[in-house]
Amino acid sequence: MPEAEVVYSDVKFTRGKKGASEAVTPSTDSTYSEIKISKTQPSTAQLSEGPQPAVVSKGSKVTSERVVLVVLSVVLAAALIALCFTTIKIITINKQLENLEHHKMKCESNFTETLSKIKSCNTVQPTCPGPKVIDDPCYKCEGGWEQHGGKCYYFSISNSSWNKSRDECRAKGGDLVKIDSSAEQTLLERRLRDVMTEAEDKFWIGLTDSAVEGRWVWADGSPLNESLKFWSKDEPDNWKGPNGTHPGGEDCARMGEQGGAKDLKCWFDAFCSKPHRSICEKAGVKGQFKKVCD
């Protein structure tokens, strides 16, 4: 912006006369020509002194808001990271628990098999004159039966109803199997994997609620232990067949999962008249052998 100038030209200042007593002397006039007074723009320093406090205050407010936003962003990012780590940790723990459960069942199965091997009696006795009959401390099973832990199991090859299957087991000196422990369930579940030919090729066990609906009992009349139940998901469901063709519902239990059941839960209720194979059970017996030398 151009400077503003004020120009005074030929300005005269005259000194007046003093009193009458003074000598008359010519007056002295002073003339000032072209006196310029310039109005300059305020300096940068002067401008900065005026509205500066207001500018500083506004900048401080904006800076504070940015700091708050940055802090909130950092806190949110930290929370998301913590949530991700927690989720990953939970997934890892669940996987470890599943592996431990699988390992536990495998150990129980191995223990049962080892116990069976320990109790096997395949020792060949020496032969020499003077035979002597002594007691055999090992359990024995008849031909066609499998010995496990002092019990004998028979896996039938023909399909029959639950009642007929039970009659066949009793004719062989046993009954439909009664499962007394998770080790026994493990043994049978693993054994059925080897003999099942399809998903519906399941085996009758000695469990029924035909007397009182919902009250499951074993073939020997003993009630089902609530802590030893191995029903598959949503079983028993007492299905009454298509369009209610079986009003009595499903009153007999069968078991087996062709691909295996990691959690051992492979019991299913079914119509008692449906033909299935079965598992018979009876106690092993201690036999005798001839010791032919002392």
Across the chain, where does the E strand assignment appear?
4-8, 11-14, 29-32, 35-39, 132-140, 146-148, 151-155, 175-176, 203-208, 217-218, 252-255, 267-270, 277-283, 285-291
**How far apart are the C-alpha atoms of 150 and 140, rounded to whole Å?**
8
Mean of the pLDDT values across residues 108-116? 64
Better-predicted residue by pLDDT, 101 or 172: 172
Look at residue 144 in the predicted model and tell me its pLDDT: 94
Per-residue confidence band for 61, with pLDDT thresholds at 50, 70 and 90: low
Better-predicted residue by pLDDT, 156 or 64: 156
Better-predicted residue by pLDDT, 21 or 135: 135
Q: What percent of the chain has pLDDT over 70?
A: 66
Better-predicted residue by pLDDT, 149 or 204: 204
Output the six-digit token pair for 260. Answer: 């295996």
* Geometric angle at alpha carbon 24, from 22 and 28, rounded to 5°: 110
pLDDT at 55 over 80: no
- The winner for highest mean pLDDT among 9-23, 60-74, 234-248 is 234-248
pTM beyond 0.85 = no
* Geometric angle at alpha carbon 58, from 55 and 64, rounded to 5°: 140
Look at residue 25 in the predicted model and tell me its pLDDT: 44
Helix axes 182-195, 52-118, angle to 10 degrees: 80
* Geometric angle at alpha carbon 9, from 8 and 11, rounded to 5°: 90
Per-residue confidence band for 293, with pLDDT thresholds at 50, 70 and 90: low
29-38, 86-95, 185-194: least confident range: 29-38
Output the six-digit token pair for 287. Answer: 């036999």
Look at residue 95 in the predicted model and tell me its pLDDT: 83
- Mean pLDDT computed over every residue of the chain: 79
Look at residue 291 in the predicted model and tell me its pLDDT: 54
163 SS3 class:
helix
Mean of the pLDDT values across residues 47-60? 50
pLDDT at 23 over 50: no
Domains in the chain (CATH in brackets) are 132-287 (3.10.100.10)
pLDDT at 48 over 50: no
Per-residue confidence band for 273, with pLDDT thresholds at 50, 70 and 90: very high
Q: What percent of the chain has pLDDT over 90?
A: 51
Per-residue confidence band for 214, with pLDDT thresholds at 50, 70 and 90: very high
DSSP state of 244: G
Mean of the pLDDT values across residues 179-193? 96
Per-residue confidence band for 140, with pLDDT thresholds at 50, 70 and 90: confident
